[in-house]
Amino acid sequence: MLSFVKGAWKLLVAIKDGLVLLFLLLFFSLIYMGIKAARADGEVPASGALYLALDGPIVEQPREIDQLSAVTGNGGPAEYRLRDVVRAIETAADDASIKAVVLDLDGFGGGGQVAMQRVAAALDKVREAGKPVLTHATFYDDDAYLLAAHASEVWLAPLGMVGVTGPGGSNLYYKGLIDKLGAKTHVYRVGTYKSAVEPYIRADQSPEARAAMEALLASVWQDWQANVAKARPKAKVTDYLANPLALLRTSGGDTAKAAQAAGLVDKLGDEIAFGKRVADLAGEAEDGGPGDFSTIPLTSYLRKHHEPTKGQVGIITVAGEIVDGDAPAGTAGGTTVSGLIRDALADDDIKALVLRVDSPGGSAAAAEDIRAALAEARRKGLPVVVSMANLAASGGYWVSTAGDTIFAEPATITGSIGVFGIVPSFEATLAKAGITSDGVKATALSGEPDVIGGVSPEFDQLAQASVEDIYGKFIGLVAQARKLTPQRVDEIGQGRVWDGGTAHQLKLVDRFGGIEDAVAEAAKRAGLSGEAATPRYFDPELDPFLKFLSTIGGSQERIAASGQPVARDWLSYAARRQNQIALRIVADLRGLIEGPSIRADCLECRSFTPAPAMKPHEKAGLMTVMMQWLAGGA
């Protein structure tokens, strides 16, 4: 017995020593990474080209990756904060050390039309300052080409193509799968156009939803075409899309030459040829090889040019799905965002607030938490101005009702004033496995919703009444905020989604403009000028471990991007889309089970934002879920 205890003790000591050694190795590795990153920043040339290698989407608020992903580098593609990209480009316009701005768009993940137009406007400022802007890619999709159209030189790889297609595509519908599994979905909704529940109750799109989406896409696509035509008049986008096969035949089947013949790109060349051209403009790299030019990376440039923090206009961001409770960056937790608003209120230097919204909605209760916090700010005398980005729909519009003034862009997707609730039950599914249920109830509502024995008619009636009550409150908030009658709001509500231009005509928004216009309006209302009229952002606190990595040089973007493959051709792009669709299937079905039962959400709006990329463990989990579904339905 004594020998067993001694052996066990030796084993525990060995494990402890191993963990200490592992911790020390990790610690010194992080220190090494920090020194290496700092040295790399010190080696940045005094002048050259600002280089934006955008290997992921541009977003309002990058998601926070977990600690394990931070260490292993499996956090998925990078996410670039919109305001950081814009700040770097606009600073470069007046920076004598920057000779050109270069965008490498291989692997670019888009970011939505409004965000692309904002970056494009920054590129225009660089060109107005007399500096060249060059882009290079193997494949340009809609978002990438909108940026490229604002460049002075658009390069395409010899094996590349311009894959502009316009917005739209297929939605996913799960009624067949739900029926096959024997499950039931109990839906409670208000709004003729509240199509967010359709994937769970239909096998196709309703005529009402189709008509609304056709009108929306036509307006957004027209806005895209007008922007590209103004920036690059020689680009024959309409002809290119009208008969691409004819143009391809004329070019001998060469997709790159076809794009060049249509005026979509200026030059064809590989990365070396492109690099040599940039080197002619911005200088060659020291000790570089062929095609290496004097490069000033985005991350290093942002470190040198810090974001101002002395402004008295507080910016609160509502980005991603609105969920109950706390949530990390990239998702709008009701408790998290309302807490940030209270933090801004507690700061005596903050004299006005701007709410930046880029969200399809989500939990009605969480949206109300955010709106109530903003209403408290107004009661305390602070002006509140809303700035809509790509999306401010359903719950995103709910929170916007707290603003004194609402700014949007013509391509903003907004509205979707409607509420729905959904509860699945599995009595038929369990019956297939021989499982039944029985019991005693004190009242008709005891044990409801009974997801194993079947939801009762009494619960159905109560749930529908609750959804109608929340919809009535939604209508009331909009009517009061927009100075419209409840009847009029109900007419333009009904869950219908609108583009920003139509929303302006319907008085759902006040003015066209971006975040800078909203900040200027908030400052004007608060009587601020000079440095005081500049913004100060209130963002969720970064995980302490990630903050530590950031301080030693390992930015979230670098950590997330390490080791990730890049889609550089049409088929690779299609494969990436396939992964995104698979992830959306899992998210939709998980939302059916785990999401809030009563939602102010716009499911169809999610196609207008970059889909999140799957991490390796998520891909494995997806395959497991798929296999379980197939086995269960067999």
261: how many CB neighbours lie within 10 A of its CB?
Answer: 17
Cα-to-chain-centroid distance, residue 113: 12
Phi/psi region, residue 110 (left: phi>0; alpha: psi -120 to 50; beta: rest), is left
Has residue 504 got a pLDDT over 80?
yes
Please give the pLDDT value at position 435: 85
Range in 164-173, 220-229, 391-400 with the lowest mean pLDDT: 164-173
Has residue 633 got a pLDDT over 50?
no
Predicted confidence (pLDDT) per residue in 506-519, tens digit: 999 999 999 999 99
Close Cβ partners of 437 (under 8 Å, ≥ 6 residues apart): 427, 430, 450, 452, 453
Q: Predicted confidence band at 74 (pLDDT cuts at 50, 70, 90)?
A: low
Predicted confidence (pLDDT) per residue in 454-479, tens digit: 888 898 899 889 989 999 999 999 99
Arithmetic mean of pLDDT, 86-106: 97
Please give the pLDDT value at position 107: 86
- DSSP secondary-structure letter at 325? S
Phi/psi region, residue 108 (left: phi>0; alpha: psi -120 to 50; beta: rest), is beta
Number of domains within the chain: 1
Residue 252 lies in a domain: yes
Arithmetic mean of pLDDT, 85-97: 97
Predicted confidence (pLDDT) per residue in 398-456, tens digit: 999 999 999 999 999 999 998 888 888 888 888 887 888 888 888 888 888 887 888 88
For residues 64 and 546, is the Cβ–Cβ distance under 8 A?
yes
Q: What is the CATH number of the domain that holds 284?
A: 3.90.226.10
The yes-or-no answer on residue 394 being catalytic is yes
Please give the pLDDT value at position 582: 64
Please give the pLDDT value at position 439: 85
Residue 588 lies in a domain: no
Residue 409 lies in a domain: no
Single out the residue of 69, 82, 83 nearest to residue 559, CA to CA.
Answer: 69
Q: Which of these is catalytic: 300, 359, 394, 400?
A: 394
Arithmetic mean of pLDDT, 265-293: 94
Please give the pLDDT value at position 593: 64
Please give the pLDDT value at position 634: 41
Range in 215-219, 372-376, 540-544 with the lowest mean pLDDT: 540-544
Residue 129 lies in a domain: yes
In the chain, the percentage of residues whose pLDDT exceeds 90 is 55
Please give the pLDDT value at position 318: 98
Please give the pLDDT value at position 483: 96
For residues 336 and 326, is the Cβ–Cβ distance under 8 A?
yes
Predicted confidence (pLDDT) per residue in 226-269, tens digit: 999 999 999 999 989 888 888 888 888 999 999 999 999 999 99
Bond into 297 cis (ω within 30): no
The yes-or-no answer on residue 194 being catalytic is yes
Please give the pLDDT value at position 454: 85
Has residue 632 got a pLDDT over 60?
no
Residue 287 lies in a domain: yes
Please give the pLDDT value at position 23: 64
Residue 384 lies in a domain: no
Please give the pLDDT value at position 66: 54
Has residue 624 got a pLDDT over 60?
no
Mean pLDDT value across the chain? 85
The phi and psi torsions of 27 (rounded to 5 degrees) equal: -60, -50
**Amino acid, single-letter form, for residue 251:** S
Predicted confidence (pLDDT) per residue in 6-58, tens digit: 666 667 766 766 767 766 666 555 555 555 554 555 578 999 999 999 988 99
Has residue 1 got a pLDDT over 90?
no
Please give the pLDDT value at position 42: 52
Residue 85 lies in a domain: yes
Please give the pLDDT value at position 391: 95
Q: Predicted confidence band at 80 (pLDDT cuts at 50, 70, 90)?
A: very high
Please give the pLDDT value at position 360: 93
Q: Predicted confidence band at 334 (pLDDT cuts at 50, 70, 90)?
A: very high
For residues 369 and 325, is the Cβ–Cβ distance under 8 A?
no
Please give the pLDDT value at position 24: 66
What pTM, to 2 d.p., does this model score? 0.86
**Amino acid, single-letter form, for residue 422:** I
Q: Which of these is catalytic: 184, 194, 257, 615?
A: 194
The residue with greater pLDDT, 614 or 434, is 434
Has residue 175 got a pLDDT over 60?
yes
Note down the domain range covering 259. Answer: 39-164+232-304
Range in 72-76, 102-106, 223-227, 585-589 with the lowest mean pLDDT: 72-76
The residue with greater pLDDT, 426 or 619, is 426
Residue 284 lies in a domain: yes
Range in 237-251, 533-547, 578-592 with the lowest mean pLDDT: 578-592
Has residue 597 got a pLDDT over 80?
no
